[in-house]
Amino acid sequence: MNSSRSAPLQNAASWAASKPPLLRFLTACHADFSTENGGNVADYIPELGKADPDHFGISLVTLDGHVYEVGDSRIPFTIQSVSKPFVFALALDTLGAARVESEIGVEPSGDPFNSIRLNADNHPFNPMVNAGAIACSGLIHQAKGDGAFEYIRQALGRFAGRELDVDEAVYASESTTGDRNRAIGYLLRNNTVIKGDVGAVIDVYFRQCSILVTARDIAVMAATLANRGINPVSGEQVMTPYAISRALSVMTSSGMYDYAGEWIYRVGIPAKSGVGGGILAALPARLGLGSYSPRLDSHGNSVRGIKVCEALSLHYDLHMLNRSDDARNSIIADYNIGKSASRRSRRPHEQKILAAHHQDVRIIELVGTLTFSNVDYISRRLAAGPRPHFIIFDLRRVAAMTRAGARLLAEGFHELAAFNVTVILSGIKHSSPQWEPLGEWVKGTSNLRNYHLLDDAIEWAEDQIVYRHGGAIDSVEVTELSEQALLAGLTAEELARLASLGAIRTYQPGQQIIAAAQPAVSLFFLRSGVVHVRLHGGMRLATLTAGMAFGEMALLETHRSADVFADGPATALEVPLRDFERFREAHPRTGERIMRNLAQLLADRLIVANTKVNLLTEN
C-alpha cells in the first residue's frame, strides 16, 4: 500500500529534478572545461593575483527572465573592463550621442586593451579600450562631478537588477599600480578629451572597475543588452534602445580587444571580457551569457569563458548572422484530454478510464517560428507540470523552425524518452520544409510518432490509455438498444418494439453510409465496428463506435448535413424515419423522452466545442 502511494511521488520528484536540455548542455560544458588549466591569473594588479584559479561559473539568462546557473556562478569578482559597454551606454543617455561620439571613436584598434595610443583625430579608438573607457568616465564626471562614480554604480546595479558593491582592496591595489592608466588619462587631457581633473577621473575609473559582480549578475546584464535595455528579471527599462544598440555595436567590433576579429568570426555574439575573469556575451533578442574563470590568455580573456561561448554558439548555431526570427510567444494552447478530448465518441467504461487518467495526455499547440528561445520556454513550461505518458506537439501553425530551436527541441524529445514519455507530432508531413531541421536531430528517437491531424494524434493517445487500463475499443458488439444514449430511459417493451421496426445492415471498410445533402430517411444504431462523420469533403466531426447512434439529426432536419463512412467492417440497425415517427406518435411520452435525450447529446457537443474555443483564449 505504501509503495503504491509513494511511486507517483517518486516519479514526480524525478521529473521535477530532471534538467532542461539547455541546463544539461551548460553543465556538460562546465564539466568538460573545468579541466582546462591553460592561462594565468592576472597579477599586474596584485589583488587580482589572489583569485582562485579553479573558480569557474556559468550563467545564462533568457529574455523571459529565466536564469540558468552552473558551478561558481555566485562567486563575486571585480567587473573590470566588462563595465565598459554599460558606462558607454550610460554616457550616451546622459550626455547625448552627438557629444559622446564626437569625443570617442568606434573603430577597432588592433592593439592591446591598455595601449597608450589614440587615433588620427587624437581621440580614443573606441570605448572598449582603456583610453575610450577613461574618456567615458571623464564625460560622466563632467556631467555629475563628485557624484559620478555613484551615478555609474547605480546604473550598473539597474543592469544587474540589484545593488552592487565595491571591492575596496582591489580599488586600492588598482590605484597604487595604475600609472599606465594615469598616463592614458594625461594623454587624453593633453588632447582636450578630458577637460577636468585627471586624478578625479582616473579615481572614478578605478572604482568603476572594482565593482563586484558574479557570473549571474553579468548574465542578467547581458540579457538586458540583448533585450533592448529592458532588464528581463526586474522588468525595468534601464537604458534607451539607441544606447544599447550602439554599445552592442562596439562590443561586436572591439569587445574582445585584439582578439575581436577572431571572436566575431568564430563565435558571432557581441561580447566583452575583463581581466577579473569575466566574459559577458549578449545575443540580441535571444539571451545573455555570463562566465567567470580567472585564468586568462595572452589577450586578457578568460580561457574557459571563451571555450564556453564557442561551444554554445557552435552547438546551437547562435552566430548572430544566422538569425532568422525574433518570435517568443509560441504556445497558443496547452491542455490535457480532460479539457479537450478527441472527436471519438466513447462508451461509458472508456470515458471512466480517460476521466481518471486525463493528465496522462498533454497537448501543446504551437504557433509562429520555433527559435532557440521559444523552445527553451516550451521545455521549461513542460517541466513545470505533472509528467504525462504522452505529449502531443501540434505544429500545424508553425511556419518555420530554426536549427537552434530544432536541436533544442530534439534534445527535449530525447530527455522525455528517458522518462518513457511518448512524443506525438501532428500537423506536419516528413516532406514539409519545417520538418527538415528537426528531422535531422530526431533520427532514431524511439519514443516519437507522427500524425497529420491533431485529432488523430489525440485519439491514438486516448486509445493507449484505455488499453493500458484494461479497456477494449474495437472488438465490441452491442446488440441491445438499452445501451444507446439516445434511447436512455425506455422500457424493455418499448425497445423491443423499436428494434422490430428496423433491419440489420452490413457495411464494408470505406463504404459511404450517409451522403451530405441527401434526404434524411432513416436513423442508425451502430452494433459493431467504427464509423466516422465528416463535413462533405472536409474535416472529421466525430468517430463513433458500437453502441452509438448516427443520422439522428434526421429527427430535426429534412436533409443530411454530413457524410458518414465505415472505417472498417461494421453493422448497424437501420430504422426508417417514417416508422420511427409512427412509433413516437403511438408513444408520446416515449417520444418526448427520446427528444430530451437528443437535446442532452447536442448540449454535450456544444459544451465540448465551447471548451475547445476557450482553450485558445486561455493561452
Residue set of the binding site for substrate: 81, 130, 174, 181, 205, 257, 275
Residue 479: beta bridge partners?
none
What b/e sequence results for 455-489 when a residue is b if at least 16 CB atoms lie within 10 Å of its CB, and e otherwise? bbbbbbbbbbbbeeeebebeebebeebeebbbbee
Angle, helix 577-586 to helix 588-618, in steps of 10 degrees: 120
> Residue written as cell 511556419?
399
CA–CA gap between residue 441 and residue 376 (Å, rounded): 16
Instruction: Output the nine-digit C-alpha cell for 462.
Output: 486516448
CA–CA gap between residue 328 and residue 202 (Å, rounded): 43
Q: Give the three-state DSSP class for 570.
A: strand
> Residue written as cell 536531430?
441
CA–CA gap between residue 81 and residue 210 (Å, rounded): 10
H or E stretch including 235? none
In the chain, the amino acid numbered 262 is E
Binding residue numbers: 81, 130, 174, 181, 205, 257, 275
3-state helix, strand, coil in the chain (%, to 5): 50, 20, 35
Q: Give the three-state DSSP class for 476.
A: coil
DSSP structural state of residue 554: G
CA atoms within 13 A on the CB side of 244: 21
CA atoms within 13 A on the CB side of 278: 34
Contact status, residue 177 vs residue 206, Cβ threshold 8 Å: no
Q: Give the three-state DSSP class for 64.
A: coil
Instruction: Output the nine-digit C-alpha cell for 234.
Output: 526586474
Contact status, residue 185 vs residue 201, Cβ threshold 8 Å: yes
H or E stretch including 598? helix 588-618
Residue 363: beta bridge partners?
335, 392
CA–CA gap between residue 124 and residue 154 (Å, rounded): 25
> Residue written as cell 514519455?
421
Report how many helices (DSSP H) and strands (DSSP E) the chain contains, helices first: 21, 22
Instruction: Output the nine-digit C-alpha cell for 438.
Output: 528537426
**Which residues have C-beta within 8 Å of that of residue 546, sequence separation ≥ 6?**
347, 476, 477, 478, 526, 527, 528, 529, 530
Contact status, residue 526 vs residue 547, Cβ threshold 8 Å: yes
